[in-house]
């Protein structure tokens, strides 16, 4: 299974080197636009940082100290016209592909990179780890949970406690990282897990618990349809019921000798509180299923059109509540088709230039503060999808409290409001990649008309916090113009109403 995916990457590299509205009718497809300034090399795995920049790593898939970059929007807030700046390299000997990653809400909003399905171009199920400090622009080694010999491409998530939970790809193990006196401490968690973590993804629910669809790696049941729920307060797993239709890819679905890939598609929390889970079952019409946390039950969703599925691949919640998905036929075959799921059906939308030679697994999304979706595919053609819809009703964050006078260059300014974390984790891939954006972005339009992003920290990881007032802190760049300004908070690409402030 992994061999086919690796070959696909190599070929591509050579070729390109509560009722909230979900749907908007009639459907109008979005548009794709290549960024003006191409990155210095082929890139993959974009992550939005809390200062509004996009952290992204270069891609060579060989023994190489791959550089990382940040895409910084221009003074109008445009990512299409953004510029690339150097973001250093990982510690010597660590150059992973497909790994766990998160943005932590610490004062400098560290980024973690854990494991890797590959390291320096070789399949190793790496147990190495690193962290990035965006303030110093430096990487360092990160300790791993005691006794773990593998992490691989396993999933990770930020819990409502503010702590990181990381899975071990090849066992049922999970561990939680807390930071004490500036040092990471790992504690085992997750008793009761049914199957190993490999190929599964995690979806954060409004309750603070975590949903997963079992991928049945190791053939626990050739036609299994179990899902599981991690209860954060107890640190335990239990069944979340049958998905009704099989979402993971098995040889049994093909009626015989085909080797199972065990892949399963991404799952996205929708604004109405349900979870839309996608399938990779190549011989079962590309199933999907919808989970209701309030009822604790699953309902079969629509099948993907035209025999498409998502055997590894991205999905992203758009501001209007639709879900953008990147699909292809079968397992790791080329030819991608993009759809927007409107809560009822799939609407075919436009594809980026490389769609005809891409498979879904090479695609990655990240939700930008502009409401656009940044897309990478292991090439130097970075594209931005601009959806046609407008923000769904009731989805915008609000500012309830912020100082009327703010000082340029100041740190730890407090901002409070509702729904600062957004309606979901934003974009998701499942295992292999995490690019969560369920944290507040503070944007100021200063007296010169420039769009200035302020680094945020100290938020509580969450989704769909409703009318509850939550808080975060933000640091104001010293380069901001003084005088009258307007401040916004953005969550999952949806801005709040502006609040007038003075920058002194």
Q: Which residue has the tokens 């369920």?
A: 438
Q: Is residue 469 part of a domain?
A: yes
Does 384 have pLDDT greater than 50? yes
DSSP string, 381-447: --EEEE-S--PPTT-S-EEEEE-SEE-TT---EEEEEESTT-SS-BEE-SSS---B--S-EEEEE-T
In a domain, 482, yes or no: yes
| Residue 21 is assigned to a structural domain of this protein | no
CATH no. for residue 402?
A: 2.60.40
pLDDT grade for 25, boundaries at 50, 70 and 90 = low
How much of the chain exceeds pLDDT 90, in percent?
83
**Token pair belonging to 150:** 């593998």
Structural domain including 452 reads 398-503
Quote the CA–CA distance of 246 and 162 in Å, as a whole number.
33
The pTM is what?
A: 0.94
pLDDT for 100 beyond 60: yes
Residue 407 is assigned to a structural domain of this protein: yes
Tokens of 373: 């979706």
Least confident of 154-158, 253-257, 340-344, 429-433: 253-257
Which 8-state DSSP code applies to residue 90?
P
Instruction: Supply 312's token pair.
Output: 């590894």
- Supply the pLDDT for residue 21: 43
- Give the contacts of 234 (CB within 8 A, at least 6 positions apart): none
Q: What is the mean pLDDT of residues 124-131?
A: 96
Number of folded domains in the chain?
1
What are the tokens at 460?
């509580």
Q: Answer whether residue 453 is part of any domain.
A: yes
136-179 confidence digits (pLDDT tens): 999 999 999 999 999 999 999 999 999 999 999 999 999 999 99
Residue 318 domain flag = no
Residue-level pLDDT at 19? 39
Side-chain half-sphere CA neighbours of 121 within 13 A: 10
Name the nearest CA neighbour of 461 among 201, 202, 163, 230: 163
- How far is it, in rounded angstroms, from Cα 35 to Cα 81? 6
CA-based end-to-end distance of the chain: 58
Segment 396-414 shows an average pLDDT of 98
**Does 345 reside within a domain?**
no
pLDDT digits (tens, 9 = 90+) for 191-213: 999 999 999 999 999 999 999 99
More confident residue, 127 or 5: 127
Spatial distance between the Cα atoms of 359 and 313, rounded to a whole number of angstroms:
8
Q: By CB neighbour count within 10 A (0-12 exposed, 13-18 middle, 19+ buried), where does 380 fall?
A: middle
Helix, strand, or coil (residue 78): coil
In a domain? residue 462: yes
């Amino acid at each position: 299974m992994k061999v086919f995916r690796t070959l696909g990457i190599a070929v591509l590299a050579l070729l390109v080197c509560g009722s909230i509205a979900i749907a908007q009718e009639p459907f109008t497809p979005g548009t794709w636009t290549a960024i003006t300034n191409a990155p210095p090399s082929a890139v993959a795995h974009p992550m939005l940082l809390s200062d509004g920049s996009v952290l992204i790593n270069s891609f060579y898939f060989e023994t190489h100290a791959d550089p990382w970059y940040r895409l910084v929007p221009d003074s109008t807030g445009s990512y299409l016209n953004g510029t690339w700046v150097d973001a250093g390299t990982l510690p010597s000997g660590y150059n992973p592909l497909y790994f766990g990653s998160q943005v932590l809400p610490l004062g400098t909003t560290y980024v973690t990179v854990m494991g890797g399905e590959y390291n320096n171009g070789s399949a190793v199920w790496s147990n190495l780890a690193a962290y990035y400090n965006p303030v110093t622009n430096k990487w360092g080694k990160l300790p791993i949970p005691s006794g773990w010999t593998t992490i691989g491409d396993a999933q990770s998530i930020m819990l409502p406690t503010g702590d990181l939970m990381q899975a071990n790809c090849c066992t049922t193990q999970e561990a939680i990282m807390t930071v004490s006196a500036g040092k990471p401490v790992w504690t085992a968690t997750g008793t009761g897990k049914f199957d190993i973590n490999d190929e599964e993804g995690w979806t954060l629910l409004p309750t603070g618990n975590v949903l997963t669809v079992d991928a049945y790696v190791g053939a626990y049941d050739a036609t299994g349809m179990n899902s599981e729920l991690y209860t954060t307060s107890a640190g335990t797993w239990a069944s979340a019921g049958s998905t009704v239709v099989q979402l993971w890819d098995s040889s049994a679905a093909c009626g015989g000798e085909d080797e199972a890939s065990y892949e399963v598609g991404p799952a996205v929390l929708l604004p109405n509180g349900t979870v839309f889970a996608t399938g990779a079952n190549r011989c079962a019409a590309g199933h999907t299923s919808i989970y209701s946390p309030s009822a604790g039950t699953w309902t079969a969703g629509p099948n993907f059109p035209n025999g498409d599925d998502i055997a590894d691949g991205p999905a992203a919640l758009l501001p209007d509540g639709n879900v953008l998905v990147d699909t292809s036929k079968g397992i790791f075959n080329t030819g991608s088709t993009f759809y927007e799921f409107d809560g009822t059906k799939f609407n075919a939308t436009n594809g980026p230039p490389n769609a005809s030679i891409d498979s879904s697994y090479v695609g990655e999304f990240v939700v930008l503060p502009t409401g656009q979706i940044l897309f990478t595919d292991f090439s130097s053609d970075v594209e931005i999808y601009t959806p046609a819809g407008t923000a769904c009703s009731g989805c915008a964050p609000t500012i309830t409290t912020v100082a009327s006078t703010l000082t340029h260059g100041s740190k730890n300014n407090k901002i409070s409001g509702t729904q600062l974390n957004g309606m979901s984790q934003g974009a998701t891939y499942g295992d292999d990649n995490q690019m969560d954006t369920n944290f507040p972005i503070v944007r100021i339009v200063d007296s010169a008309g420039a769009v200035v992003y302020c680094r945020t920290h100290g938020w509580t990881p969450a989704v769909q916090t409703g009318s509850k007032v939550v808080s975060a802190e933000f640091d104001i760049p010293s380069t901001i113009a003084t005088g009258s300004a307007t401040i916004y908070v953005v969550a999952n690409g949806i801005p709040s109403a502006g609040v007038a402030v003075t920058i002194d």
